[in-house]
Every structure is written in C-alpha cells, then in structure tokens.
C-alpha cells in the first residue's frame, strides 16, 4: 500500500512537472540577446534609456561631482553595501567611473524610476526617484531610502571600444 | 438538507415527472428554491448573494462575447479593445457592461461580506460556508486583476508589473517565481497570453465554488438579522414566492444603478491612463490599482519593507479565513452586541480610510495615516475580536424570530 502510494506520488509529480515547467521562459525568449550602444552622443551629465530584454537600461554619463559624491558614501550608510567602483566595472575588469550602466527597474516592485530625463525628480540622494512607492537611489544607483531592498542591478556589459558598449 | 421539510413533490407534467424519476433536478429545485424554509425576517442585506450571482452570470456572458473580438498579443490587444469600443456593433455596450460589471460585482460582494460580518454569519455551523466565500473573493481578485491586464494600456502593464513583482519578495525562490509567472524577463507577450487563458478559466472555477457555497448554505439554511436559529414553521416562510420576489426586486434596483454608470459614466470608475498603450520604458507618474483593490494596496505601501508589506497585504485576507475562530462571542448578530456593533462600524470606516490612502501618492500625511489604519485593521481582528467576546455583555436575545418580528411590529 505504502509502496503503491509512494509510486503514485512520484508519478503524479513527474506528470505535473511538464505542466509547471511549460510556463517558464521559452528557448527563444531565453536566447541571450545583446545590444550594442554608441555612447558618444551622451554628453556629461546626460543619460539615456535603451531597451534590453523588454526592460529599460539606464546609461548615465556622470559628472565629476556625481562620481565624487558616490565614492564618498561610507558603506555603513548603505542598506545594500556596494562600492561605487564595483558598479562601474565592465566584464573586462576595466573601471570607467564616468559611465554608470544599470537596469532601470526599481528593486521594490518593478517600476521605472525617474531621474534620467532633464527635469525629472532625482530624489533626496540626487540619483533616481521611484514614484510608485517612493524609493530614492543615489548617484551610483544604490538604494538609500524607501521600500526597495536592493541597489539598481548592474547588468553584464563590455566596452568594445571607447565609443561602443555591448550589454548582455 | 434532505428530509427536514416537505414530502417529495408530485409533478403533473408527464415529461417532467419522467425526467425527475431518473434525474431529480426538478425535485431539487422544488426543495431548495421553492419550499425551502427561510427565516421570515430578512432585511435588504440578504439580497446581495442573489445580486452577486446575477453579476457573475453577466460577467461570463459579456466576457465570452468580448473574447470573440479580442486578441491576446502585445501588438494587437490595445487596438482590439479600441476596435470593440468603436467598430464592433454594440461592442461599446458589451465592454462597458463588462468593465463596470467587475466594479459592481465587487460592490455586491463587499456588501455581502459586510452582512456576514455584522450578523455573525461566519459562526458555527457556517464556518466552511464563510471560508468558501473568502475563496470566491480571492478568485475574483485574481480574475479581475488578470482581466485588467488584457486591454494592455499603461495601467494594465504597470499594474501587472507591480503585482507580479510582489512574489519577488519571497526569500530565495522569489525571483525564479516571478520569471515563471512572466514566462520571460519582464511582463511581455507570454504574460498577456497566459493571463487571457486564465482570465477565461477562473470565472468558471468561481461558478464551481459558488455551487459549493450554496450547497453548504442549504445544509443549515440562512442566518438572519437576529442571528438566532429558526425554531419552527412560525419562524420561516417558503423561499418562493417570498424571497424570489424580494431578491428580484433587489436585483432590479441594483441593476438600475449599474445601468446609470454603464450608460452615463462608463469610465468614471476607471483610470484615464489605461487609454494610453502600454509602454515598458515609462511608468505613469501615479499608478493606482482599480478602486476595489485600494485598501489592500494601502496596506502594502504602509509597511516600509518589501517582504513585510507583501505579508501584511496577504495577511489582511488571511485573517478573514480564521475569522470564525477569532470571534469568541457566542452571539451572532451585532444587533445584540452593544459594543462590538460600534467596532464593526468603525472597521468599515477604517477600510474606507485605507481605500482613500491607497488612492493617494505615498507621501506626506498619507503615509502615517495608512500605517495607523493598517494597524487598526489588524488590531480589530487579532486583538479586539478575541477580547470583546469575553468581556462584552450581550443584550437579551428574543425567544424566537417570530417573537422578535411581532414585537417590533407592535411597538
Ligand atoms: C468573475 C468574472 C470576471 C471578472 C471580475 C472580469 C473582470 C475583467 C476586467 C476588470 C477587465 C478589464 C476591463 C477594462 O478595463 O477594459 C476584463 C477584461 C476582459 N475580460 Fe473579463 N472578467 C470576468 C469574466 C470574464 C469571462 C468569463 C471572460 C470570457 C472569456 C472574460 C473576457 C474578457 C476579455 C476578452 C477582456 C478584454 C476586453 C476589455 O478589456 O474590455 N472575462 N475582465
Ligand atoms: S516600485 Fe519603486 S518604490 Fe515600489
């Protein structure tokens, strides 16, 4: 009886799995798409939003002041401690503090934070502000205040030249 | 429910009696909706079960017609809905019935839930009946949420994004669950497609749970405004014609108000941003869910912690499941509970305040207010209810329903 029951349970799970797994991303969705962006038109102090895997990616050309501000923050003040340096390093380990590249999706519930366009509110820490439930990010895209638990995510990217960056 | 009332009916029509001998559907209708002994003292709050049923049927009828003209694809969904509104014969009417129907379905169900809470209909022996009701409420919320995604406007898209992201608060597996829900790395075509499939399915599951809800209801019969059980024939009337007529009347009045919205203010309860096509790169400045979700949305935002907010929101519904055991008073109806009666009314005010907070941006004075209202909501269920049952002295209960009714008439 127990054996039959156990076998039945294993059988049921084996049948259920394809149904559950069927809802996972399909191969074509998974196929790692990459995009290439020419960053030369982005002036210092400006930012652009590009679309990658259905999500916005922020590319910000930071000013000296923004970089200084981001580097000066003591780790103890960060809910999700991470150095600015680490967030501006590409996959070839090259550090470019002037280029901050992040997925523009609030780590709370997924809204797109404001702060990329001129005139947008940038929040109390001068970076980005998410209007949905009021999260503020600093000039390194790190969470400083509000319900979001994590820093804005830095995707894998590689500068193939000084002008071109490949995301993904 | 079986032998307690009446002898098996005799049908004069030969066809009916032939069928009934083999499949007793006519006996069933006769017993459960005609002779069924029903407390004689229902007030109009008892109309809302029938009204909710009518709305469910209306939602399914309009929904199936809409589906014949709808296309669940990110490039076509918005235009398909606009075409239903502008080009399809009477498409505007079917869509406005469906759109406002969802709101009025929730209005009916919220009043129905209030009725159950005020008159203690969740207490023994009706706990399972109540729990099935909460299950229906949850299924309705899931259905309405997925339906709202279908027109693929800005609110559709960002509502779907925020709500599916709630699951990312689950430790460890949260992110994988969200990707699984989406079928991709963001709310996108696979998401829309599956939401349409589920939006079509869930209402029929609701029908099945409603059937169980009614079966459970007919075991012990309805509660009534006094909360005391009928003691004999002097306390009841047959369901038909007394309550078929009263329910019919209530349904008509409700539908008149409903029709006023459908014909004169079809977009009043909606949000204008949903007439902007979905844009995954721009979040509207102020996103809000449909009005019927606002109190829960306010609870979500009141807690300044992601996981905490999500837990509180689901907890707000979870407490309803255990309500029959949180309430320690043996008296059902608030009519005879001089203290709880006021707390019950205050809970209604609290939920309305939460709803208003949910509709405002999460800043300034709205934040502490929603926190206070959230605290009170949980205190009502988890602190007040268990304690009050012990310390409150209920008013004397009337000896029977008939006594209560006749005395009221005499005064
Ligand atoms: C429990 C019952 C139901 C509820 C609460 C519900 C709710 C909703 C809501 C809130 C919308 C969005 C309306 C808008 O803003 O445009 C919607 C859309 C839609 N629903 Fe339903 N629905 C129900 C049953 C059904 C059924 C049974 C079908 C059958 C397939 C259906 C098909 C559709 C379609 C095709 C749309 C998109 C067209 C539109 O947006 O008007 N619904 N539903
Ligand atoms: S989604 Fe950004 S604060 Fe909630």
Give the residue, out of B67, B147, B158, with the most ligand 1 atoms within 8 A of its beta carbon, to mutate for a pocket test: B147
Q: Which of A51, A94, A133, A150 is catalytic?
A: A133
Distance from the alpha carbon of residue B191 to the mean position of ligand 2, in angstroms? 21
What tokens does B255 get? 């539908």
Per-residue pLDDT 10s for chain B (411 aa) are 344 445 667 889 999 999 999 999 999 999 999 999 999 999 999 999 999 999 999 999 999 999 999 999 999 999 999 999 999 999 999 999 999 999 999 999 999 999 999 999 999 999 999 999 999 999 999 999 999 999 999 999 999 999 999 999 999 999 999 999 999 999 999 999 999 999 999 999 999 999 999 999 999 999 999 999 999 999 999 999 999 999 999 999 999 999 999 999 999 999 999 999 999 999 998 889 999 999 999 999 898 888 999 999 999 999 999 999 999 999 999 999 999 999 999 999 999 999 999 999 877 899 999 999 999 999 999 999 999 999 999 999 999 999 998 877 654
Nearest atom (ligand 2) to Cα of A110: 1
Residue that the structure tokens 């049921």 belong to: A12
CB B300 within 8 A of CB B312: yes
What tokens does B20 get? 């009934």
Which residues of chain A does B162 touch, with a Cβ-Cβ cutoff of 8 Å?
Answer: 109-111, 132
C-alpha pair distances (Å), B132 with each of A135, B320, B385: 38, 11, 21
Nearest atom (ligand 2) to Cα of A147: 3
How crowded is residue B44: how many other Cβ atoms within 10 Å of its Cβ? 12
How crowded is residue B371: how many other Cβ atoms within 10 Å of its Cβ? 17
Task: Give CA–CA dist B217/B113, Å, rounded.
Answer: 15
How crowded is residue A93: how many other Cβ atoms within 10 Å of its Cβ? 6
Which residues of chain A does B282 touch, with a Cβ-Cβ cutoff of 8 Å?
Answer: 112
Contact A147 B194 (CB under 8 A): no
């Amino acid at each position: 009886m127990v054996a039959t029951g156990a076998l039945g349970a294993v059988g049921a799970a084996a049948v259920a799995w394809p149904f559950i797994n069927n809802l996972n991303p399909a191969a074509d969705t998974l196929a790692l798409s990459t995009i290439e962006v020419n960053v030369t038109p982005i002036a210092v102090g400006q930012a652009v939003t590009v679309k990658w895997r259905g999500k916005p990616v922020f590319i910000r050309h930071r000013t000296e002041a923004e970089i200084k501000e981001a580097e000066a923050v003591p780790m103890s003040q960060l809910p999700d401690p991470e150095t600015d340096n680490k967030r501006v390093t590409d996959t070839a380990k090259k550090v470019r503090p002037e280029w901050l590249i992040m997925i523009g999706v609030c780590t709370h519930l997924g809204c797109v934070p404001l702060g990329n366009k001129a005139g947008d509110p940038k929040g109390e820490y001068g970076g980005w502000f998410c209007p949905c439930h009021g999260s503020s990010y600093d000039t390194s895209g790190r969470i400083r205040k509000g319900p979001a638990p994590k820093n804005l995510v830095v995707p894998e990217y590689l500068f193939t030249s000084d002008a071109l960056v490949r995301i993904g | 429910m079986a032998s307690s009332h009446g002898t098996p009916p005799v049908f004069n029509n030969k066809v009916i009696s032939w069928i009934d001998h083999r499949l007793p559907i006519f006996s069933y209708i006769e017993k459960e909706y005609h002779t069924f002994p029903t407390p004689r003292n229902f007030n109009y709050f008892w109309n809302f079960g029938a009204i909710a049923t009518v709305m469910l049927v209306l939602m399914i009828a309009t929904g199936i017609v809409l589906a014949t003209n709808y296309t669940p694809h990110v490039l076509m969904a918005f235009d398909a809905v606009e075409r239903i509104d502008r080009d399809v014969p009477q498409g505007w009417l079917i869509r406005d019935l469906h759109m406002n129907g969802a709101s009025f379905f929730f209005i009916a169900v919220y009043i129905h839930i209030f009725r159950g809470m005020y008159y203690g209909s969740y207490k023994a022996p009706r706990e399972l009946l109540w729990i099935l009701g909460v299950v229906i409420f949850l299924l309705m919320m899931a259905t309405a949420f997925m339906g709202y995604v279908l027109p693929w406007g800005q609110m559709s898209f960002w509502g779907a994004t925020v709500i599916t992201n709630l699951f990312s608060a689950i430790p460890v597996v949260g992110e994988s669950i969200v990707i699984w829900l989406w079928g991709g790395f963001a709310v996108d075509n696979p998401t829309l497609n599956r939401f349409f499939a589920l939006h079509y399915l869930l209402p029929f599951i609701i029908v099945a749970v409603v059937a169980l809800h009614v079966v459970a209801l007919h075991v012990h019969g309805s509660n009534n405004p006094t909360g005391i059980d009928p003691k004999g024939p002097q306390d009841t009337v047959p369901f038909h014609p007394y309550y078929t007529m009263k329910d019919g009347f209530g349904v008509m009045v409700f539908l008149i108000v409903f029709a006023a919205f459908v014909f004169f203010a079809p977009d009043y309860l909606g949000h204008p941003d949903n007439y902007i096509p979905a844009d995954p790169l721009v979040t509207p400045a102020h996103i809000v869910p449909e009005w019927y979700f606002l109190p829960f949305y306010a609870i979500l935002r009141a807690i300044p912690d992601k996981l905490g907010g999500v837990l509180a929101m689901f907890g707000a519904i979870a407490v309803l499941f255990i309500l029959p055991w949180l309430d320690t008073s043996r008296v059902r109806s608030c009519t005879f509970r001089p203290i709880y009666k006021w707390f019950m009314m205050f809970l209604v005010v609290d939920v309305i305040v939460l709803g208003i907070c949910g509709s405002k941006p999460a800043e300034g004075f709205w934040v502490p207010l929603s926190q206070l209202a959230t605290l009170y909501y949980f205190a009502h269920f988890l602190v007040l209810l268990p304690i009050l049952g012990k310390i409150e002295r209920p008013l004397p209960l009337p000896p029977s329903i008939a006594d209560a009714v006749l005395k009221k008439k005499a005064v």
